[in-house]
Structure 1
Amino acid sequence: MPLTWNDLTVSFTHIDRNKLVEDWKWLVGQSLPILVTSIGDAFLQNESGEIYWLIAGSAEFEKVAESYEEFKIKLQDNELLNEWFLVPLVLQLKEQGSVLERGKLYGFKRLPVLGGKYEPENFELTDIEIHFALSGQMNFLIKDLPDGTQVNFRVSE
């Protein structure tokens, strides 16, 4: 089953770019999203034009290109595409019948930083804004905890 660019990315033109990363400002500063992956990560550009990869599942923010032009060239590299867009995982999700809908992406049921796995069973269709808000808030709450700390979340009414 072949994958298309629309299987690997989601449109977020209906969302204000600032609002999309509002709960990530603590990590990304003033950088704004230019591309959102179907698996819930984003590529952001800062004021200097540099491109960063926001890995929402583990709150990593990694510089991947000096410019948008360099980023476009790197998108032609199959090895980087597999790493950045988790192509095998997206293929598995698609083969299992999980079809992207407008305004949604494949979001984590449990964030990897909280023990979730990068496997199809840990993903569900999730609203794009909700995904980035919740993952940003959760990662912010635990960012200063030592690795291995037991975390329990309570939902208040």
Structure 2
Amino acid sequence: MVNIHDYLIDQSGKDWAVLLADWVPPLPSDFTVWMVNRFGDVFATFDDGSIHMLDIGGGSATQLATNREDFITQIGNDETADNWLLMSLTNACVASGMTLKNNECYSFKIPPLLGGLYEVDNIEPTDLSVHYSFLADIYIQTKDLPEGSKVNFKFIG
């Protein structure tokens, strides 16, 4: 039997309001972090009880379930669990020897938002604050562009 906690980040001691400040919107100003997968994707409870996933790599927030019970029912499906928790990719990272420290998550070297692939060679452990800040900056700069737009980034420093 799969232990869901093997695919989640320990939330204790982390200031999620600060870490996710740049992600409002697409998150609302008031929400509760329920779970966070090892890629930093946030499963949040909104005021109406609905469960949404903030896909950090893809730069989107999507409602997954009307409430926690609905979420638990859906994640009982192996394919859904794998998709939401990136279980196969997490297993591949662990098998390759990639380990996470307390304040790290798996992060994409080239984010999926910019065409990066969901594969081990494109992943590295990254500090949570760097992960959320960097990907929020990319999201903010590209969110209004039409799909398929070409972008150029200039990295300074």
The total of aligned residue pairs comes to 156
- Among all aligned residue pairs of Structure 1 and Structure 2, give the percentage whose two residues are the same amino acid: 28
Within 5 Å, give how 1:49-64 maps onto structure 2: 49-64=49-64
Which amino acid letter does the alignment assign opposite residue 85 of structure 2? F
User: What residue is the counterpart of 1:152 in the other structure?
Assistant: 152
User: What residue is the counterpart of 1:69 in the other structure?
Assistant: 69
Shift of 1:3: 6.6
Q: Which runs of 5+ in 1 are unaligned?
A: none
Shift of 1:20: 2.3
User: What residue is the counterpart of 2:98 in the other structure?
Assistant: 98
Using the alignment, how far apart are the partners of 1:24 and 1:32 within structure 2?
13
Matched residue SS, 2:26: helix
Which amino acid letter does the alignment assign opposite residue 83 of structure 1? N
Within 5 Å, give how 1:109-124 maps onto structure 2: 109-124=109-124
Using the alignment, how far apart are the partners of 1:3 and 1:154 within structure 2?
42
Shift of 1:5: 3.2
Change (3 A) 1:70 1:116: same
Please report the TM-score for the alignment, with normalisation by the length of structure 1: 0.90
Change (3 A) 1:100 1:156: closer
Assess if the C-alpha contact under 8 Å between 1:3 and 1:91 holds in 2. Answer: no
Q: Deviations over 1:103-125 (max 9, x none)?
A: 11101111111121000011100
Within 5 Å, give how 1:35-54 maps onto structure 2: 35-54=35-54
Change (3 A) 1:87 1:99: same
Q: Which runs of 5+ in 2 are unaligned?
A: none
Aligned residues: CA RMSD: 1.8
Matched residue SS, 1:28: coil
Using the alignment, how far apart are the partners of 2:138 and 2:33 within structure 1?
19
Spell out structure 1 runs of 4+ moving beyond 4 A: none
